[in-house]
């Protein structure tokens, strides 16, 4: 169907002009600050934009579904006409799943959604359930992480645009893989953000770490919230996506009685019932507040899950011995016991890094699978000074330990692209801002961010250097190496064990204990035992051995060599 109606919200404008096909068309004002125009015929695909109050500049559509010439160019009319092949798809719930995080631009050499499809069979063989795609909404420049998006309804053209995105989701579903889309609603990028020209999308009196806050509770915020909620529905309904990962929700400044996240949870719950498939909302939050993932009926915000930084910090600090910066409170096995037993390590106690008390205890309504856990992710790797992965900081044996703790421990495990074979390729922070001044500001600001971590600032790569981007591409050739292939086999084994024994997907947190160099976690009738030390040790644990790394003897007493792991079931 040809689109011939154009609607835009511009409540403060005294006149609005639609510029379509190079011709000006006066728009009519409707209720609530909306303006509309009809073109007969409009043509199937035409370039268009809006002129505000007779000004010279023509702005792209705030709800543009396609930006063929980038975020500063005109919008293009678009209607998705993909012939979907996922009619039998019934979805994937978060509980029991394994997530794989990828970045379209670096997942393959071509850096497109279509080329990513060619690697999906690898994910199927690995055994993951959900593919979490870093932001794909349109941003200025050719390559970047995607968190500086400014056209939230448009898919980044260098990735292939909206048709390629539909092909990618469809291909995932036909292989039994669900899709979680990473979205950013807490801020807009520094270049190409024309929303304030149209209406009060931002609150310039309040700032978050990225600039002016999104207007969620001030005058005109009803339409701003509707803008976000309609974007949520676009991904889940139009593009058949199975869930959203919501970036840094602690930066959503909302003082209304009903928080935006609660309103979002209610709408997604209704949409899920309508579509008859599970839809998940996963929040990135550093608040350690269980209300984020508590049911709305009991006063929570109703998110299905949230990322758990505490788990990552406890695993990495104990494997690397790093006690600097935000690892300061985690470099002890007590922290690992804490995240296995209670979910959060900081649950109202003092945080050395923050210099204050942080978090609150997990409530009984929270299930272990609601915490998404990892030993590496895009933030933790890319926000190291040089983009180093855990694989370059610890031995292969310790990588195997990290994998076992993450995949078989409480929580929903997430694997970052290349982690499954212990890739040593860095994944750095990269940008391609065309504006020289902005690019220089980003490069200089990057070094300032690391001052508190006591890292070597001379090792910080220039985000604007194209080599930083190209040097972050997934090194698929590493799989030709026996050591990398062996670790990949270990990941496959762990995921199969997780899927085979109910204890490893239990909604309950684990019981855990520690010694000077050892750690044991019990989940139902299953046990994960790890020797962190250099000397052999014996633990009074017996059961049926289903997975091992390093020396592990299945006897009445469990004998573990240095940096080794044993996974047992049917433990009494």
Residue 171 has pLDDT above 70, yes or no: yes
CB 540 within 8 A of CB 511: no
Q: Is residue 25 part of a domain?
A: yes
Mean pLDDT of 80-107: 97
Of the residues 59, 82, 100, the one at which a domain ends: 59
Count how many residues are written for the chain. 572
List, as own/partner pairs, every contact residues 344-351 make where C-beta atoms lie below 8 angstroms and the sequence separation is at least 24, other chains included.
344/288, 344/290, 344/308, 344/310, 345/310, 345/313, 345/314, 346/288, 346/310, 347/288
Bond preceding residue 41 cis, omega within 30 of 0: yes
Distances, alpha carbon 339 to alpha carbons 162, 325, 334, in Å: 40, 19, 9
pLDDT at 383: 87
Q: What CA dihedral angle connects 271, 276, 281 and 282, to 10 degrees?
A: -170
Of 103-117, 272-286, 313-327, 457-471, least confident by mean pLDDT is: 457-471
**Average pLDDT of the segment spanning 38-46:** 73
Does residue 363 fall inside a structural domain?
no
pLDDT at 446: 64
Q: Is 245 annotated as a binding residue?
A: yes
Nearest to 49 by CA among 168, 198, 196: 198
Q: What is the structure's pLDDT at 3?
A: 46
pTM of the complete model: 0.96
Domain stop point among 39, 59, 79: 59
Give a yes or no: residue 347 inside a domain: no
Mean pLDDT of the chain: 94
Selecting among 61, 217, 247, 548, the annotated active-site residue is 247
pLDDT at 457 over 80: no
Residue 297 C-alpha from the chain's centroid: 26
88 labelled ligand-binding: no
Predicted local distance difference test score (pLDDT) of residue 447: 62
Answer whether 123's CB lies under 8 Å from 171's CB: no
In a domain, 18, yes or no: yes
% residues pLDDT > 90 (the chain)? 85
CATH of the domain at 31: 2.60.40.10
Told to judge if 284 belongs to the known catalytic residues of this protein, a careful annotator would answer yes
Domain count across the chain: 2
Do the domain assignments include residue 390? no
Measured between alpha carbons, how far is residue 152 from residues 74, 180, 182, 209 in Å? 15, 16, 11, 19
Contact by Cβ (8 Å): 36, 5:
yes
Domain for residue 560, yes or no? yes
Which residues contact residue 193 at a Cβ distance below 8 angstroms, ignoring those fewer than 6 apart? Answer: 150
Confirm if 102 and 133 have CB atoms less than 8 A apart.
Answer: yes
Domain that holds residue 10: 5-59
Find out whether 268 is annotated in a ligand binding site. no
Q: Does 305 appear as a known binding residue?
A: no
Strand partners, 568: 527, 545
Q: Is residue 497 part of a domain?
A: no
> Is pLDDT larger for residue 554 or for residue 352?
352
Known binding residue 309? Answer is yes
Q: Give the phi and the psi of residue 339 in degrees, each rounded to 5.
A: -75, -25
479-520 pLDDT, tens digit each: 999 999 999 999 999 999 999 999 999 999 999 999 999 999
- Catalytic, out of 157, 170, 284, 289: 284
- Residue pair 565/548 in contact (Cβ under 8 Å)? The answer is yes
The answer to the question of whether 304 is labelled as a binding residue is no
Where a domain ends, among 59, 78, 105? 59
246 in a labelled binding site: yes
Q: What is the pLDDT of residue 542?
A: 87
Render 410-433 in DSSP notation, one character per residue: SSEEEEETTGGGT-----------
Q: What is the pLDDT of residues 337-388, one digit of tens each?
A: 999 999 999 999 999 999 999 999 998 899 999 999 999 999 999 988 889 9
Between CA 541 and CA 530 the distance in angstroms is: 12
Q: Provide the pLDDT for residue 1.
A: 38
């Amino acid at each position: 169907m040809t689109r011939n109606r154009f609607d835009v919200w511009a409540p403060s404008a005294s006149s609005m002009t639609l510029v379509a096909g190079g011709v000006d068309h006066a728009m009519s004002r409707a209720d609530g600050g909306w303006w509309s125009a009809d073109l007969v015929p409009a043509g199937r695909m035409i370039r268009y934009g809006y002129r505000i109050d007779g000004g010279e500049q023509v702005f792209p559509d705030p709800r543009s579904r396609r930006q063929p010439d980038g975020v500063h160019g005109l919008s293009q009319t678009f209607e998705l006409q993909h012939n979907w092949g996922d009619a039998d798809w019934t979805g994937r719930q978060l509980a029991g799943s394994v997530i794989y995080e990828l970045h379209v631009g670096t997942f393959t050499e071509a850096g497109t959604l279509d080329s990513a499809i060619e690697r999906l069979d690898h994910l199927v063989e690995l055994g993951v359930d959900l593919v979490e795609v870093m932001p794909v909404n349109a941003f200025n420049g050719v390559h970047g992480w995607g968190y500086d998006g400014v056209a939230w309804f448009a898919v980044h053209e260098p990735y292939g645009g909206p048709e390629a995105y539909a092909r990618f989701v469809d291909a995932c579903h036909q292989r039994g893989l669900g899709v979680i889309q990473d979205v950013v609603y807490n801020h807009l990028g520094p270049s190409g953000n024309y929303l304030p020209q149209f209406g009060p999308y931002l609150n310039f009196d309040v700032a978050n770490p990225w600039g002016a806050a999104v207007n969620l509770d001030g005058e005109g915020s009803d339409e701003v919230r509707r803008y976000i909620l309609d974007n949520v529905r676009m991904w889940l309904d139009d593009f058949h996506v199975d869930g959203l990962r919501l970036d840094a929700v602690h930066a959503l400044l909302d003082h209304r009685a009903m928080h935006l996240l609660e309103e979002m949870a209610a709408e997604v719950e209704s949409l899920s019932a309508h579509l008859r498939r599970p839809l998940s909302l996963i929040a990135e939050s550093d608040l350690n507040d269980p209300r984020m993932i508590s049911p709305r009926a009991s006063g929570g915000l109703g998110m299905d899950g949230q990322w758990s930084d505490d788990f990552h910090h406890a695993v990495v600090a104990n494997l690397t011995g790093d006690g600097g910066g935000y690892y300061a409170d985690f470099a002890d096995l007590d922290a690992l016991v804490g995240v296995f037993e209670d979910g959060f390590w900081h649950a109202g106690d003092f945080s050395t890094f923050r210099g204050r008390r942080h978090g609150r205890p997990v409530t009984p309504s929270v299930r272990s699978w609601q915490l998404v856990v990892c030993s590496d992710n895009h933030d933790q790797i890319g926000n190291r000074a040089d983009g180093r992965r855990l694989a370059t900081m610890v031995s292969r044996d310790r990588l195997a330990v990290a994998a076992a703790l993450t995949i078989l421990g409480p929580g929903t495990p997430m694997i970052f692209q290349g982690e499954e074979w212990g890739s040593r390729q860095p994944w750095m922070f990269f940008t391609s801002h065309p504006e020289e001044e902005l690019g220089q500001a980003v490069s200089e600001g990057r070094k300032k961010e690391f001052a508190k971590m006591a890292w070597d600032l001379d090792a910080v790569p220039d985000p604007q250097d194209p080599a930083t981007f190209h040097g972050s591409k997934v090194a698929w050739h590493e799989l030709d190496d026996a050591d990398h292939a062996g670790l990949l086999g270990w990941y496959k084994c762990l995921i199969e064990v997780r899927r085979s024994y109910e204890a490893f997907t239990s909604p309950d947190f684990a019981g855990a204990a520690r010694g000077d160099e050892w750690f044991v976690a019990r989940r139902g009738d299953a046990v994960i035992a790890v020797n962190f030390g250099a000397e052999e040790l014996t633990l009074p644990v017996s059961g049926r051995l289903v997975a091992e790394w390093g020396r592990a003897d299945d006897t009445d007493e469990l004998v573990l060599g240095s940096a080794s792991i044993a996974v047992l079931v049917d433990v009494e």
